[in-house]
Chain A
Amino acid sequence: MTKVTMTVNGKPVSGDVEGRTLLSQFLRDDLGLTGTHIGCDTSQCGACVVHVNGQAVKSCTMFALEAEGAEVRTIEGMANADGSLSAIQQAFQDHHGLQCGFCTPGMVMSAAALLAEKPKPSEAEIRDYLEGNICRCTGYHNIVKAIMAASGQDVGAIAAE
């Protein structure tokens, strides 16, 4: 067992992990941050996406020890300081961008990383960016719409209700 130390959602944390412990396991099992979800075992589904030093990363694809000293942000750290939903989270609720909620943490984290990189992405750019996030419930329509809305783009023309 090796000690690992990092900052998660602004708070310093540490734990004892094995070399093989994945970051996703450390977050869920050691820190009790179960908002990061495990949906597959081949790193395709994206339910485990978190931010490591500002980058979107599939937490199942890195070891906890590789995050030594890093700034990690998970879904639990995305709300505003007063507890209200962030713009992206609020947009997901406003536009029904989630149903069962299982892929949602990864979707929100990916969306946040996209908008940080590209503030006004087109529909095609959003769909392309989300290639690593699988959803079985929504058919992606309202997810793409929510991300466009969160970026301040007008979604009124997108057929829905």
Chain B
Amino acid sequence: MPKDHGIGASSKRREDVRFLTGRGRYTDDINLPGQAYAFFVRSQVAHGRLNGVDISAASSMPGVLHIFTAKDFEGVGGLPCGWCVTDRHGQPMQEPGHPVLASGKVRHVGDPIAMVVADSYDAARDAAEAVEVDIEELDPVLDMKAALADSAPKVHDELANNLCYDWGFVEENREAVNTAFEKAAHVTTLELVNQRLVPNAMEPRVAVGDFNPATEDSTLYTTSQNPHVIRLLMGAFVLGIPEHKLRVVAPDVGGGFGSKIFHYAEEAACTFAAKQLRRPVKWTCARSESFVTDAHGRDHVTKIELALDAEGHFQAIRTETYANMGAYLSTFAPSVPTWLHGTLMAGNYKTPLIYVNVKAVFTNTVPVDAYRGAGRPEATFQLERVIDKAAREMGIDPVEIRRRNFITEFPYATPVAVEYDTGDYNCTMDKLLEIADVAGFELRLADSKARGKLRGLGINCYIEACGIAPSHLVGQLGARAGLYESATVRVNATGGLVVMTGSHSHGQGHETTFAQVVADMIGLDENMVEIVHGDTANTPMGMGTYGSRSLAVGGSAMVRATEKIIAKAKKIAAHLMEASPDDIELKEGKFTVAGTDKSVAWGDVTLAAYVPHNYPLEEIEPGLEETAFYDPNNFTFPAGAYACEVEVDPETGKVTVCSFAAADDFGNIVNPMIVDGQVHGGLAQGIGQALLEAASYDEHGQLLSGSYMDYAMPRADDVPFYKVDHSCQTPCTHNPLGVKGCGEAGAIGSPPAVVNAVVDALQRAGHTDVTHIDMPLTPSRVWAAMQG
């Protein structure tokens, strides 16, 4: 029975009113009195010695206030990396410097060299064109394997080579894995590329730095998913500003998908410039600029081997991956191909032996970091593709081979360190087959054939680790930060609540869903709960929103804080009703004494807290405000099964997605409508990866796909209506809401479904030599595969 309010209700979003009427306040909508405008001069070559930057002509152009170069940042720190990975030999990764503005060398097209600050955007841009940059071009390293050759030019001269780290997991199991392969009845091998993508949130990045000379406070408005993290990284490691003198505000943010997690040079540069110039400094990224400065995603080259027994039971998995770091280490980059990828190689399956090797490589390209799924799409893609290939080789139905290997008993300790708390993979598979109407496929196949088209069905499972993360665990793995979350619940005298959260909302609807949770706990109308996020001045320290963590971790902090509120409120109610706090019940916003008809309203209790005349002052303080920090015990493990049906035009190779079905287990659900929306968006991104998108470099390191003219974003006519289901719910066992998170699942589980479907279509049409096509499956790639 659908609820109309509280946890489980598809409450309409309160954010929508301002967004639908053009009254959102995105960072580019912020204009401060006296503001100056920044424009960056960026490298146009992929690799070179930066021998000089001549700003003399540009500096005297109209409206120019100052042109910053690396020299201005000499006393300032470089951009920090937030995760140090230890390699197979127990050594820390190679960690190059990452200056705010390029110094000595430029290392990718887009590398910032100078920042022009002027009275107007046009004056800044005009002056930027007059900045003369003396670069002696060097050969770029672009291919990862070539970058590891002895003769390869070094991206960072101070490092021994271009290998950031050579990571093995679990190293102690390597021998046993190799032995299992030698003994296996069947081995399936697959080499594949998980191509570089550009996250492309629709809002380009913006940074507005401001400085108040009267108080010496700095403020940064920025398009970030995590303002507190930016404040800590920028304040402590780059600019040397203590937190109490630095405020970071992330107002309405137009999508992030990971690309707005990281601390970028432009944030530090604008904050620094505002202080130097005593004027606000605003930078707005142009879209084509964002292509060469926002962190890219994915970019793995992988060989995966699956060892099976004669009945198709998985015996062992062995993988070797080259993971592109790009020219510099972005904030979380080293963790993505390791701890967010290697630890998912068990998937939904009981494989007893797994060994993952990852070589992270520096190249003269834009830095690569987390993008929706961050490591888990890469893991899922290689696993679910090799399983499909093995099924075909061994003549086992692709659904059946998966069921044969499903984990069915929980908690389950995988051989790659993570322990799954709970799940039911047969439930989601059963549900998938039903909503995808797999039984009717043959009829649809015949219909396609009659129209001269090929048709294929691709099915896969996925699991992901999200709700990141237990701080002590990630600390052991090299994280330089904790991954708790926070909430302060402030009850006002007249009964309304303000919940200040360290989480952020940039499309997820947290202002609505968090209010549902808190209101539900107390029994109030959701409109009495206001959610505040995004400003370090009025929220407790939190790590922000990514990794599908906001409900699992942020929501849990909110629950704990609200529990403290309720406990204290019960003491006040007990006093007002002359009863024992143990006898007080709270339901629908009313406190009652159990077994009596005595009651007192929420509003009476909240008023008493702030007007403590009839109040147990000897026992408790006035006021009703509580804070909680929640550090999760474990990751959460949403899982599911996906199915894609495609038609392929045999003349052109064009792939049409006819249908896409997703059966997900997200544990308990707060707002079904929002959960569906999250899955929809993820599916489009996964379909985009499978069929359309690729960040392509040429042999000179020029980004060919540098705008929406050449980077194929999925549009409304590239995708169908989706069929999504989340009726399978195995609640998370270790957080108070029993939630698992849902933000990334769609992007994680969908690429293999699409590719499995296209391979299926071609195989069914007689192209039995086609066992894999690399993404994106453009018409020309699919057509070429059909030519044999």
Contact = CB atoms under 8 A, between A and B. Distances in A.
B349 to A, nearest CB: 28
A137 B676 contact: no
A34 interface: yes
Contacts of B709: 42, 44
Contact of A96 (B677, B682, B722): B677
Contact of A41 (B17, B200, B286): B286
Interface string A42-71: 101101000000000000000000000000
B342 to A, nearest CB: 28
Contact of A126 (B17, B204, B682, B716): B716
Contact of A144 (B203, B672, B716): B716
Contacts of A139: 677, 680-685, 719, 722, 746
Contacts of B713: 44, 134, 136
Given A127-B716, A159-B721, A104 B20 contact: yes
A93 B18 CA distance: 11
Contacts of A47: 202
Interface in A105-161: 105, 108, 123-124, 126-128, 130-131, 133-145, 158-161
Contact of A98 (B20, B435, B683, B684): B20
Nearest to A157: B721
Interface stretch (B54-62, B142-150, B250-258): B250-258
Interface string A74-104: 1110110000010001001110101111111
A98 B509 CA distance: 10
Interface stretch (B23-31, B229-237, B421-429, B777-785): B23-31
A79 B18 CA distance: 11
A133 B420 CA distance: 40
Interface size class of A (residues with CB under 8 A): 35 or more
B307 interface: no
Contact of B716 (A35, A42, A131, A137): A131
Interface string B692-717: 00000000000000011100010111
A81 B681 CA distance: 33
B717 A131 contact: yes
A101 B680 contact: no
B551 to A, nearest CB: 15
A40 B288 CA distance: 7
Given A41-B288, A127-B716, A134-B713, A34 B677 contact: no
Q: Is the interface of A mostly helix, strand, loop or mixed?
A: loop
Given A47-B202, A100-B507, A136-B202, A36 B676 contact: no
Interface of A: 28, 33-42, 44-45, 47, 74-76, 78-79, 85, 89, 92-94, 96, 98-105, 108, 123-124, 126-128, 130-131, 133-145, 158-161
Interface of B: 10, 12-13, 15-24, 26, 28-29, 200-204, 252-255, 257, 284, 286-288, 435, 506-509, 672-674, 676-677, 680-685, 707-709, 713, 715-717, 719, 721-724, 746
For the complex of A and B, 9 pairs with smallest distance between CB atoms? A35-B22, A102-B254, A101-B19, A100-B507, A139-B684, A139-B680, A99-B507, A75-B22, A44-B708
Given A76-B21, A102-B201, A136-B685, 13 more contacts: A36-B22, A44-B713, A76-B23, A98-B19, A101-B19, A101-B252, A102-B254, A103-B254, A128-B716, A131-B715, A136-B257, A137-B677, A138-B681
